[in-house]
Amino acid sequence: MRIQTRAVVAAPLLLLLCAFAPPPAPTAAKPPCGLPVIATAAPVYNPLAALTNLDGERFPQGAQLLLIDHGKAQPLVSGFAATADAQVYYDGMRVLFAGKKQPSDHWSIWEVTLADHILTQVASAPTDLVRPFYMPGRRMIYARRAAHGFTIELAAIFPDEPVPAVELTHIQAPALPVAVMRDGRVLFEAGFPLGTSLSQGAKPELFLVYADGSGVESYRCDHESIANGRWGGQELASGDTVFTHGTTLARFTSPKAVEQPIHAPAAEYAGQIAETQDGAWITSTRKPGGRFTLVLMHPGSPLQQPLFVDPARDHVEPVLACTHPTPKRHPSGLHDWPTANLMALDVRQSRQGDLATVPPTVQLEQQDDNGNPVVMGTAPIESDGSFFVKVRGDRPIRFTLLDPAGKPIRAQHGWFWIRAGEQRICVGCHTGPERASENHVPLVLLHTTTPVDLSGLATKPTAEAK
Amino acid sequence: MRRLPVLFLISAALVAAITLVRTQSVHAGVTPAAARAAAAANSPVNAHTSRSDAEINIYASPLELLLSPDGSQLFVLCQQSGDIRVVSTATGRTLKSIPIGQELRGIFLSPDGSRLYVTSSWDDTVSVVDTHTLAVTARFSVKGEPSGVVTDKSGKTLFVANRLSNDVAVLNATTGDEIKRLAAGRGASYMLLSADGKRIYTSHIYPALGAHRTVPQSELTVISPDSEPGRAAGPHVVDRMPLHLAAGVFHIAQSADGRLSAVAHFHPKNLIPLAHLEHGGALANNLTLFGPDVDQAVGGTIEVPLDELDRYYAYPFGVAITPDKSRILVTHGGADVVTVISVPALLKFAHAHPKGFAEDLSASGNYVLARIPVGKNPRGITLNRTGSLAYVANRLDDTISVIDTRTSKVLRTIALDTPKAISALRRGEQTFYTAKYGFQGHFGCSSCHLDSTLDGLTWDLEPDGFGVDIVDNRLLEDIRDTEPYKWNGGNPDIPTECGVRTEKYFWRSENYDARTLADLTVYIMGIRKRPNRALPGPGKLTPAQDRGKVIFERTVDNFGNPIPELNRCNYCHSGPKGTNQKSFDVGTKKWTDRSGLLDTPQLTSIALTAPYLHDGSARTLEEIWTVYNPHDQHGRTNDLIKDQLNDLIEYLRTR
């Protein structure tokens, strides 16, 4: 992948010019929050295509970013065969987007300034790069199309020196970023169970991961309610996250472990929404047989006000060209190890119902490069339900609880990963984010501080056994 | 031509502004050197004037407050300025300031409303204020750092919780004569007289000293203020209500009918490796409910989480229950909000979950009605007679929030007279007490350094490895010239200790900018040492302390054998702070430790800082020598008899 750096040279000059130039007009410096709206217009919108097929296209007949203001639309940029996936920088002055100059090109990542339309390609590769999002510190994430579908990467925008992108997702199935949460984590959509694609029967689901790829988990674990799949999404000023469940809107809210319904006019809703400063939402909705149209609505109100109507194209993924809060930067605490440590506090605990007895062992499987499961070994489980293992980092893994005869009692249906150098604790086996840990020394740590090595790599123990 | 200089000046100003903004907004990679330099510039002690920042700017720091019986006046305990402000509830104006003393902590209005009792924790006094004349009419001496204070229902007997001596002093409320002491929990601090006057509840902020790496235990000491014929003469302890898993226990409230009580506290997760913060990984901020209503619902006490899945409400401190028992209000000193709980919804939820729900982060969504943003570091809370208004003391912005409890809205904010300029020290204190830097507001410095001290707990920090290098939390008083910090001596200064390391392994979220880190450093370096109560007078020692000092400095053991210099107490524990700032292996390495080489801790206020040793394995000073020093590596002590050990302890208590 190539990160272009031409702006580095221009930056000092620009800074000088900025310092001595007259101050910009207020409207250019800080666009009013609410309008204009930037949205993607497309003849065909297939939002889940990239989660379904390895070569799936969300916009199979092309797409175009529009700047929509007071009922009028104009292309955000010119000279492109296709543009999509706009994201506005925190100062409201720049837009990151995916674009193709020629129809045969791969999607690459571009940035344009809103005031003077300076256009720069910030990342390209011999594959598609889509769904870019700004991250704190002039960094960005995006989805890169790989052999197993899209994977999410973090990279610097205009690095002083070329730096390798950091892969955030480590599954052999597609994953696409949806939003950056204010706590600095990345909200992404992928198949559930994680590590499987929609073509394998998975449902789309929302997950969270830190900006260094650690701490991956389901946003919520009420998976039983996702018959139609959850996708898209945007964090509101209140901290709630609104997303699309099937074709309707729903929300996650901090006090609740399960999704909450949103009472909105009957229509089909499409993914990402935008929230104005006064709390109104701009969404894409369509009636049966119609096109996705941008509407302004107030939560709880039956009224929807169309913002722009174009019967020839769908209009989706609206964003506001205005300032918005910078998310918190995640300070990566990953160690410089090829492996990762994982400890479970009590494997009996689960949303599926707590186990009455402690299984004697837990088995680790890891996916090989072809996606085949490989048994890496087993580890004993202490009488309090705790175990402590070392696994290989950045690989899809899953655990199975075994009975004394070695038969599975409970198994993870999907795959997850731990970043190389990560140390992680699970409260139980799929207890859900609502379950806090209990305060006691896990029995396994009273016996040893050395994890059972299931990494398949010969590494020295980091501490001694009692 | 004439415009050129103007243009130049504007441009230069713009460049400077850009530079300043850039400097202020740099978050990543704040260098300790930058913060050190900034901290030095903001040092709390100005070398030229010898006037400290704190002396130049004395802030009111309202900590507790009470309403006069007619509701027309607020009595506001101002911790830092050391006075009681009498504030008109009608106008918000301060009517009078009544000077009291140092580090005020507790306030209570006599049942007849005629007297106000105020504890001055660093003066070891309780002041009596006549509420009609607003004059101090008496000062009672109460040793042991008086904190919470109440009277019995008659107003004749005074009860004072003492944080340092871990007891409740019982005094004649008229004369101040001490009648007796009753043992309470470690760090006894907050008190409540029950609605019927038959019980006094006392909480404590440091957990009991239990076995190493076992769960924290606290208690509510329940006192009967009256004699019980045939059983006890005078006030006596009738119960020690266990608060299993709680540490850092603060205010207690009771409903007007006496059937529902609530106490605010932390529920630490110190025994689990601190690998990440989601799922309540470090601390929970909880209430415990007790009383007949709770018995009826669940058959005992019940712990009630106040946190949510994605948001935490740090430092639950003040509690109030409305007279109609419809709501409980809780202040959160780290989250700058007041939580409003529906009592019926809470009791219904508790009844439906009789096995408890302390670990359920989705529970609070069933009974929390509102989270009301207030000022910085909200602490004490009081209600008017009808319960329609709540007054909240915002300690670190010197304001009082007035809340309409029916609408859960702040009606107005009363600003107290206080310096307008916010000093570096004050900004640092605000940073110390906020939880906003922790991931999802999980916790802040003060969550583990309660009232800028310690929490009495040991923690399993992640970077060393799971279960490796268990560490005791250390006191922050007077730590200047005790560096390096951290038990392994790895951090040469506070900017290193509290900068990138804290960001990565504690907050797990974006940390301060360089200026904020510098302010925080100024505050931490300025935390004062509390008065030493063990000293009989300036430059004096008791005979036992004198004997202990001789042992501390001895060069020959009880058998006449010379003690090698390296094995004398005063070699490592040398200098005014009791540390030579070097690391040694004194034979205390456990199988969980990577190294036995450990920083020599300072001896400042050592009587307060149990448990001892790097991993908190010694519950008492004596255990350091009698249990954990079998080979005399930690000084020559195995020749000492019990009386000598006691003398040595007596001397150490003077440090």
**CATH code of the domain containing A100:** 2.120.10.30
Q: Is B28 a domain residue?
A: yes
**Distance between CA A221 and CA A215 in Å, rounded?**
15
Q: Tokens representing A384? A: 């309090």
- At residue A7, the pLDDT reads 34
**B274 plus B297 within the same structural domain:** yes
Quote the DSSP letter at residue B464. G
What's the average model confidence in pLDDT over B328-340?
Answer: 98
Q: How many structural domains compose chain A?
A: 2
Which of chain A's residues have a Cβ under 8 Å away from the Cβ of B460? Answer: 441, 445
Residues 325-344 of A with CB under 8 A from B: 328-333, 335, 341, 343
Which position has the higher pLDDT, A129 or B5? A129
**B208 plus B238 within the same structural domain:** yes
What's the average model confidence in pLDDT over B600-607?
Answer: 96
Residue A367 domain boundaries: 339-453
Q: Is the pLDDT of residue B114 over 50?
A: yes
- At residue A159, the pLDDT reads 76
Q: Is B491 a domain residue?
A: yes
Q: Tokens representing A272? A: 């990402």
Domain boundary among A320, A355, A375: A320
Q: Is A462 a domain residue?
A: no
Task: Give the residue from A163, A111, A157, A153 showing the smallest Cα distance to A128.
Answer: A153
What's the average model confidence in pLDDT over B178-201?
Answer: 98
Q: What is the CATH number of the domain that holds A377?
A: 2.60.40.1120
Distances in Å between the alpha carbon of A45 and those of A265, A316, B81?
A: 21, 8, 65
Task: Write out pLDDT tens, residues B33-66.
Answer: 666 666 565 554 433 334 454 455 799 999 999 9
Q: Is A193 a domain residue?
A: yes
Q: What is the largest CA-CA distance in chain A?
A: 79
**B405 plus B322 within the same structural domain:** no
Quote the DSSP letter at residue A84. E
**Distance between CA B290 and CA A269 in Å, rounded?**
48
Chain B residue whose CA is closest to A434: B361
Q: Is B538 a domain residue?
A: no
**A363 plus A288 within the same structural domain:** no
Q: What is the CATH number of the domain that holds B108?
A: 2.130.10.10
**Amino acid letter for position A96:** L
Quote the DSSP letter at residue B94. E
The rounded percent of chain B whose pLDDT value lies above 70 is: 91
**Distance between CA A142 and CA A153 in Å, rounded?**
6
Coil, helix or strand at residue B520: helix
- At residue B21, the pLDDT reads 34
Task: Give the residue from A112, A102, A43 showing the smallest Cα distance to A76.
Answer: A112
Q: In this structure, how many other beta carbons lie within 10 angstroms of the beta carbon of residue B97?
A: 18
**A104 plus A16 within the same structural domain:** yes
**B126 plus B90 within the same structural domain:** no
- At residue B13, the pLDDT reads 41
Q: In this structure, how many other beta carbons lie within 10 angstroms of the beta carbon of residue A124?
A: 18
Cβ of A441 within 8 Å of Cβ of B467? The answer is: yes
Quote the DSSP letter at residue B561. P
**A304 plus A380 within the same structural domain:** no
Upper half-sphere CA count for residue B111 (Cβ side, 13 Å): 15
Which of chain A's residues have a Cβ under 8 Å away from the Cβ of B7? Answer: 20
**A447 plus A305 within the same structural domain:** no
Q: Judging by DSSP bridges, how do beta strands A248-252 and A241-245 pair with one another? A: antiparallel
**B67 plus B175 within the same structural domain:** no
Closest partner residue to B18 (CB to CB) among A19, A388, A463 is A19
**A184 plus A239 within the same structural domain:** yes
Across A158-172, B143-157, B517-531, B547-561, least confident range:
A158-172
Cβ contacts below 8 Å, chain A against chain B, sum to 157
Residues in chain A: 466
Cβ of B11 within 8 Å of Cβ of A437? The answer is: no
Which of chain A's residues have a Cβ under 8 Å away from the Cβ of B305? Answer: 436
Q: Is A74 a domain residue?
A: yes
Which of chain B's residues have a Cβ under 8 Å away from the Cβ of A257? Answer: 309, 361-362
Q: Tokens representing B4? A: 């050129």
B-interface mutation test, from A154, A330, A449, A464, most B Cβ less than 10 A away: A449
Which of chain B's residues have a Cβ under 8 Å away from the Cβ of A137? Answer: 27-28
Cβ of B360 within 8 Å of Cβ of A436? The answer is: yes
The answer to whether the CB of A182 falls within 8 A of the CB of A325 is yes
Residue B83 domain boundaries: 58-94+377-418
- At residue B52, the pLDDT reads 53
The answer to whether the CB of B159 falls within 8 A of the CB of B235 is yes
Q: Is the pLDDT of residue B136 over 80?
A: yes
The answer to whether the CB of A341 falls within 8 A of the CB of A319 is no
**A73 plus A169 within the same structural domain:** yes
Does a cis peptide bond (omega within 30 degrees of 0) precede residue B630?
no
Q: Is A327 a domain residue?
A: no
- At residue B35, the pLDDT reads 63
**A349 plus A288 within the same structural domain:** no
**B587 plus B625 within the same structural domain:** yes
Specify the pTM.
0.91
Q: What share of chain B is helix, strand, coil (3-state, %, to 5)?
A: 20, 30, 45
Coil, helix or strand at residue A99: strand
Q: Judging by DSSP bridges, how do beta strands A452-453 and A241-245 pair with one another? A: unpaired
Coil, helix or strand at residue B563: coil
Quote the DSSP letter at residue B549. H
Domain boundary among A320, A355, A383: A320
Band of pLDDT at residue B10, cut at 50, 70 and 90: very low
The answer to whether the CB of A373 falls within 8 A of the CB of A409 is no
**B361 plus B392 within the same structural domain:** no
Q: Tokens representing A39? A: 């949205």
Q: Is B472 exposed, middle or buried (0-12, 13-18, 19+ CB in 10 A)?
A: buried
**B38 plus B100 within the same structural domain:** no
Task: Give the residue from B403, B218, B415 showing the smallest Cα distance to B318.
Answer: B403
* A462: contact with B, CB 8 A cutoff: yes
Task: Give the residue from A176, A185, A170, A218 showing the smallest Cα distance to A397.
Answer: A170
Mean pLDDT of chain B: 92
Q: Is the pLDDT of residue B583 over 60?
A: yes
**B190 plus B228 within the same structural domain:** yes
Alpha helices (H) in A317-386, listed in sequence order? none
**B311 plus B254 within the same structural domain:** yes
**Distance between CA B378 and CA B339 in Å, rounded?**
11
What's the average model confidence in pLDDT over B338-357?
Answer: 95
Coil, helix or strand at residue A64: strand
Instruction: Look up tokens 């960094």; give the residue.
Output: A139
Q: Which 3-state string (H, E, C) describes B553-577?
A: HCCECCCCCECCHHHCHHHHCCCCC
Q: Is A355 a domain residue?
A: yes
Question: Going edge to edge, which strands form the sheet with A452-453?
Answer: A423-426, A339-344, A387-392, A452-453
- At residue B171, the pLDDT reads 98
**Distance between CA B446 and CA B448 in Å, rounded?**
5
**B478 plus B554 within the same structural domain:** no
Distances in Å between the alpha carbon of A88 and those of A63, A320, B307?
A: 18, 7, 33
Closest partner residue to A333 (CB to CB) among B281, B440, B505 is B505
The CA R_g of chain B, rounded to the nearest whole Å, is: 26
**Distance between CA A199 and CA A300 in Å, rounded?**
36
**A296 plus A364 within the same structural domain:** no
Closest partner residue to B269 (CB to CB) among A333, A388, A439 is A439
Q: Is A132 a domain residue?
A: yes
**Distance between CA A142 and CA A360 in Å, rounded?**
42
Which of chain A's residues have a Cβ under 8 Å away from the Cβ of B371? Answer: none
Q: Judging by DSSP bridges, how do beta strands A339-344 and A423-426 pair with one another? A: parallel
Task: Give the residue from A337, A298, A332, A290 showing the smallest Cα distance to A314.
Answer: A290
Band of pLDDT at residue B579, cut at 50, 70 and 90: very high
**A301 plus A371 within the same structural domain:** no
- At residue A430, the pLDDT reads 87
ipTM for the assembly: 0.90
Q: Is the pLDDT of residue B403 over 80?
A: yes
- At residue A227, the pLDDT reads 81
**A77 plus A194 within the same structural domain:** yes
**Distance between CA A273 and CA B554 in Å, rounded?**
75
| Residue B90 CB contacts under 8 Å (≥ 6 apart), including other chains | B72
**B366 plus B283 within the same structural domain:** yes
Coil, helix or strand at residue A192: strand
Q: Is A465 a domain residue?
A: no
Q: Is B401 a domain residue?
A: yes
Coil, helix or strand at residue B636: coil
Which of chain A's residues have a Cβ under 8 Å away from the Cβ of B275? Answer: 343, 423-425
Q: Is A211 a domain residue?
A: yes
Q: How many structural domains compose chain B?
A: 4
**A76 plus A49 within the same structural domain:** yes
Q: Is B558 a domain residue?
A: yes
- At residue B39, the pLDDT reads 59
**Distance between CA B392 and CA B320 in Å, rounded?**
10
Strands (E), A373-446: 373-380, 387-392, 397-402, 408-411, 423-426
Residues of chain A with pLDDT under 70: 1-35, 459-466
**Distance between CA B437 and CA B416 in Å, rounded?**
27
Task: Give the residue from A212, A153, A143 showing the smallest Cα distance to A184.
Answer: A212
| Residue B618 CB contacts under 8 Å (≥ 6 apart), including other chains | B611, B612, B624, B627, B628
- At residue B94, the pLDDT reads 97
- At residue A35, the pLDDT reads 66
Domain boundary among B366, B394, B418: B418
Domain boundary among B418, B442, B475: B418
**A103 plus A156 within the same structural domain:** yes
Domain boundary among A320, A348, A368: A320
Coil, helix or strand at residue B295: helix
